[in-house]
Amino acid sequence: MEKYLSQLNEAQLAPTIQIEGPMIVIAGAGSGKTRVLTFRIAYMMSKGIDPFNILALTFTNKAAREMKERIASIVGQSEAKNLWMGTFHSVFAKILRIEADRLGYPSNFTIYDTQDSDRLIRDIIKEMNLDKDIYKYKQVRSRISSYKNSLITVRAYFQNPELIEADTMARRPKMGDIYKEYVERCFKAGAMDFDDLLLKTNELLTRFPEVLAKYQNRFKYILVDEYQDTNHSQYLIVRALSDKFQNICVVGDDAQSIYAFRGANINNILNFQKDYHDVKVFRLEQNYRSTKNIVNAANSVIDKNQTKLDKVVWTANDDGGKIIVHRSLTDADEGRYVASTIFDNKMNHQLPNSDFAILYRTNAQSRSIEDALRKRDIPYRIYGGLSFYQRKEIKDVLSYLRLIINPKDEEALKRVINFPPRGIGQTTVDRLMVAANGYKRSIFEVMKNIDKTDVKVNSGTKRKLLDFVTLIESFQVMNQTADVFELAEYVTKTSGLIREFNKDGTPEGVTRMENIEELLNGMKDFVEGQKEIVDATGSLAEFLEDVALSTDMDNDKDDGNKVALMTIHLAKGLEFPYVYIVGLEEDLFPSAMSMNTRSELEEERRLFYVALTRAEKQAYLTYALSRYRWGKLVDSEPSRFIEEIDEEYLEIETPIEERRINPMLSADIFGDVEPNKVRFKPAKQVKLQKGTTKKTAEKYQAPTPKNLKPVASSSSGTGSPNLFDNKIAVGNKVKHNRFGTGEIIKIEGTGPDTKAEIKFQVGVKKLLLRFAKLEVI
Ligand code: ATP
Ligand code: MG
């Protein structure tokens, strides 16, 4: 048997070498599902299956790239190149370009990102004179998105009285009209939004049997990772494509289904066995990722969910440290705690920054964590949030580039028609838009034929409009021969963008220029990279496709040695040695917006399960007693999810704040905190009722100097939030949160290198005082 297969256990081997027929691998986190998919593809190729006939769908393009690299290392680079791998969106965007004309789209259609969709929806709401407080554009967008993902076209919408009634009840009777206008405007602009990439693929496969047959024959073998998070639209595509050969292999974990809010349907995994005949079901039980403590703790939480498939997850790994639970007074304290323990762990164990991840429920939580990391000079990278490509100046450049490829692109045109300012006012643009809607043509076409239209503009404006058309057309000519880097460099200069941003002179202006430079550098890299790919040329079209479909996870150009900050949703499928789950508070996680029904709460619990199972060696759970939310300081209680973990897997830390508030401790002990700025929470019973966690806030309020005897202020200059330095004395009784109480029997070294030998009940330990979490008693 092939040598690489020995890297799998028996349970993993079975689905890996099962090539024909429908099959599902249902297994818990870290059990090797993604590994099985990877090895299975390599195995199929080694058995002579043409990579051209294999389609693998992953959650991010980065995951696809990594899989491809791994497969290439087994079967060879040239073979692996021909595999079709990527996210649903990227794979089907490619197919849609090939087949676009059947649907009346140009093959160079633009892909609208959410910003473009939002702008268009806002315009439509305004044009229709609707109340923007009732028709909130984000809600309208998410409603349209859910229609599309359920395959409800505009026509289907108007034929469905229930939908119309639901929107009318929600005080939005014009939803259908907005939907209709939005779809028409996208079509006219030669643009598809993200949901269209799936919806139109479905349309293609149902309306054109010959197209369906073509791709069924092409993709004889289909594999899907993270199947639990497919939505209805994705489900139907997979079903249709696999219908002929039925060689479909999906892997997933119902306990990790966390995208219901975006239309993912957990039933896709639960019903898989009903959808195909003779489904082979495989289960993996051994977790290779995490320590026993982490695996057991995660199991104990997910057990509380009623809707789930029965699964066993165990590990042969070490017990590892217990999961550390830490309470802070405020969100700022929480940030400092996270930063200082990362600092300590790095120093104690010589670890790279990339070993650490900080996961949160909402993007807004990153700020206080970022502040603390910056103070300690710990490099970090935020995933999600506003991506590089959505920054204003970058979007401006990209809009020019998009117009070169598709001049009908209305959102791109509106953005740059008068930026940099060239004297084309909003009134003119409005008139052009009305005319374009009337003629059922794009704005660009109306501009180009302005003399033949009845648009009222004076001759000066007419000249300016035609100049703009000529400018774009000259770029189009250059695009026939130049690569994307050369073209973009020319466009940024000729369009006046560079001059405009340079003129600014403010620090923001400088940053904008740097970002444009970064964009150009990225293009240069891209052009170089494309040289290695068969058929690729480094053209503008290729670049725009790459940008439109890259998730933030995919743009990892950095050296990588940074602490990762991201929402839990983004962390799916990833793993890190040290994981911090922050903001574990009721109403934040579980989110206040997701506690109305049992199923919503169960989804939050699955989210917590995903978060905890990302950790390999050590997990930290943190919460704050008060936190700034929506600009106000609000009290909070620890999340129920902490309580739901079996106590035996937890280690509840003595919060450093409890010691910090001792007035005898001076600011420099904590490096960055002034004790008199520490806010105190009003006395309130903390809900967490578990062993040592059962503490009340009074304890924070009334520190008694005699039981918190600081030895001295630190001058070690490490900025580490520890209490002791070389003034500690032999004979002192101390308490350590893991070893219990003990007595100092020897001290050696000075300054930051001071070590103490302490006799604990469990034996004598030598601790570096700089890092040891000790309290004098
Ligand atoms: P998730 O549910 O989080 O997506 P998963 O089931 O896809 O997890 P993988 O990511 O494939 O799990 O595997 C988890 C970790 O365990 C990886 O680091 C992987 O390399 C390792 N691993 C899996 N199986 C084995 C094995 N048989 N021997 C050694 N390491 C393994
Ligand atoms: Mg996986």
From 12, 34, 330, 754, the catalytic residue: 34
- Residue percentage of the chain with pLDDT more than 90: 67
Give me ligand 1 centre to Cα 724, in Å: 41
> Does residue 704 carry a catalytic annotation?
no
Distance 33 CA to ligand 2 centre (A): 5
225 flagged as catalytic: yes
User: Is the model more confident about 92 or about 309?
Assistant: 92
Residue 724 has pLDDT above 90, yes or no: no
**pLDDT band for position 700 (50/70/90)?**
very low
Residue 256 annotated to the active site: yes
Of residues 766 and 658, the one with the higher pLDDT is: 766
pLDDT in tens, 29-48: 999 999 999 999 999 999 99
Q: Beta strand 576-581 with 380-382: parallel, antiparallel or unpaired?
A: unpaired
Residue 772 is predicted with a pLDDT of 67
The predicted pLDDT at position 759 comes to 87
Please report the atom of ligand 1 found closest to the CA of residue 8.
Answer: 27
- Of the residues 201, 228, 256, 428, only one is catalytic, namely 256
Residue 662 pLDDT greater than 70, yes or no: no
Mark whether 311 is an active-site residue.
Answer: no
Tell me the per-residue pLDDT of 110-132, one tens digit each, with 9 for 90 and over. Answer: 999 999 999 999 999 999 999 99
298 assigned ligand-binding residue: no
35, 614, 629, 660: the catalytic one is 614
Q: pLDDT confidence of 555, banded at 50, 70, 90?
A: low
What is residue 773's predicted lDDT score, i.e. its pLDDT?
65
- CA-closest residue to ligand 1 atom 13: 32
* pLDDT tens-digit readout, 443-469: 999 999 999 999 999 999 999 999 999
Question: What's the pLDDT score for residue 553?
Answer: 64
Nearest C-alpha neighbor of 26 from the set 317, 268, 263? 268
Does residue 697 register a pLDDT over 50?
Answer: no
As a whole number, mean pLDDT of residues 432-441 equals 92
- pLDDT at position 654, please? 58
Output 670 or 732, whichever has higher pLDDT. Answer: 732
Calpha distance 446→437 (Å, rounded): 10
CA 370, 609, 38, 12 torsion-angle sign: positive
707 has a pLDDT exceeding 80: no
Check residues 751 and 501 and name the one with the higher pLDDT: 501
Least confident of 80-84, 345-349, 724-728, 749-753: 724-728
Q: Which atom of ligand 1 is nearest to the CA of 284?
A: 6
What ligand is nearest to the CA atom of residue 29? Answer: 1
| pLDDT, mean of residues 252-265 | 88
Q: Give the lowest-confidence range in 150-159, 163-172, 449-458, 674-683.
A: 674-683
Per the annotation, does 28 bind a ligand? yes
42 labeled part of a ligand binding site: no
Residue 692 has pLDDT above 80, yes or no: no
In 539-646, which residue ranges form alpha helices assigned H by DSSP?
Answer: 540-549, 598-612, 640-643
Nearest CA to ligand 1 atom 8: 30
Three-state secondary structure of 664-719 = CCCHHHCCCCCHHHCCCCCCCECCCCCHHHCCECHHHHCCCHHHCCCCCCCCCCCC
Q: Kindly tell me if the per-residue pLDDT of 757 is higher than 60.
A: yes
Distances (CA, A) of 351 to 318, 346, 371, 579, 773: 19, 5, 21, 14, 20
Nearest CA to ligand 1 atom 19: 32
Least confident of 73-82, 293-302, 643-652: 73-82
Burial status of residue 159 (CB atoms within 10 A of its CB: 0-12, 13-18, 19 or more): exposed
Q: How far is the CA of 287 from the centre of ligand 1 (A)?
A: 7
Beta bridge partners of 281: 24
For 338-376, write each residue's pLDDT tens digit.
999 999 999 999 999 999 999 999 988 998 999 999 999
pLDDT at residue 557, as a whole number: 52
Say what the pLDDT of residue 770 is. Answer: 62
Which of 123, 167, 181, 226 is catalytic? The answer is 226
Please state the atom number of ligand 1 nearest to the C-alpha of residue 12.
Answer: 27
Q: What is the pLDDT of residues 369-387, one digit of tens each?
A: 999 999 999 999 988 766 7
Instruction: Ligand 1, residue 28: give the atom nearest the CA.
Output: 2
Given this model, what pLDDT does residue 451 score?
A: 93
508-517, 533-542, 669-678, 743-752, range with the lowest pLDDT: 669-678
Helical residues (DSSP H) of 192-330, grouped into ranges: 194-207, 209-218, 232-242, 267-270, 272-275, 292-302
Cα of 370 from ligand 1 centre, angstroms: 30
pLDDT at position 671:
35
Closest C-alpha residue for ligand 1 atom 27: 8
Which region holds residue 314: left if phi is over 0, alpha if psi is between -120 and 50, else beta? beta
pLDDT at 398: 96
Measured distance CA(527)–CA(523) in Å, rounded: 6
Distance CA 535, CA 538 (A): 10
The reported pLDDT for the residue numbered 476 is: 97
Q: Rounded to two decimals, what is the model's pTM?
A: 0.79
Ligand 2 centre distance from Cα of residue 225 (Å): 7
* Residue 676's pLDDT band (cuts 50, 70, 90): very low
> What residues contact residue 33 under an 8 Å CB cut-off, 6+ apart?
25, 27, 225, 251, 252, 253, 284
Query: Rounded to an integer, what distance in angstroms lies between the CA atom of residue 256 and that of residue 254?
Result: 5
Average pLDDT over residues 89-96: 95
- Rounded mean pLDDT, 611-635: 92
Ligand 1 mutation pick, 6, 35, 254, max ligand atoms within 8 A of CB: 35
How much is the pLDDT for 771? 59
Per the prediction, the chain carries an average pLDDT of 86
Neighbours of 533 (CB within 10 A): 11
More confident residue, 741 or 400: 400
Q: What is the mean pLDDT of residues 72-80?
A: 86
* Distance, CA of 265 to CA of 146 (rounded, Å): 12
Specify whether 604 is catalytic: no
Could you tell me the pLDDT band of residue 732, with boundaries at 50, 70 and 90? confident
Amino acid (1-letter code) at residue 437:
N
Which residues have C-beta atoms less than 6 Å from ligand 1?
Answer: 7-9, 12, 27, 29-35, 253, 256, 288-289, 573, 575, 613
Q: Confirm if 746 and 765 have CB atoms less than 8 A apart.
A: no
Q: What pLDDT score was predicted for residue 702?
A: 30
In the predicted model, what is the mean pLDDT of residues 552-559? 58
Percent of the chain scoring above 70 in pLDDT: 87
pLDDT band of 712, cuts 50, 70, 90: very low
Cis peptide before 106 (omega within 30 of 0): no
The predicted structure's pLDDT at residue 549: 83
pLDDT higher than 60, residue 690: no
Distance, in Å, from the CA atom of 67 to the CA atom of 291, rounded to the nearest integer, reads 25
Coil, strand, or helix at residue 186? Answer: helix
ipTM: 0.99
591 labelled binding-site residue: no
Query: Strands 755-760 and 740-748: what pairing?
Result: antiparallel
What is the atom index within ligand 1 of the atom nearest the CA of 288? 16
524 catalytic? Reply is: no
Residue 663 has pLDDT above 50, yes or no: no
**In contact, 362 and 570? CB cutoff 8 Å:** no
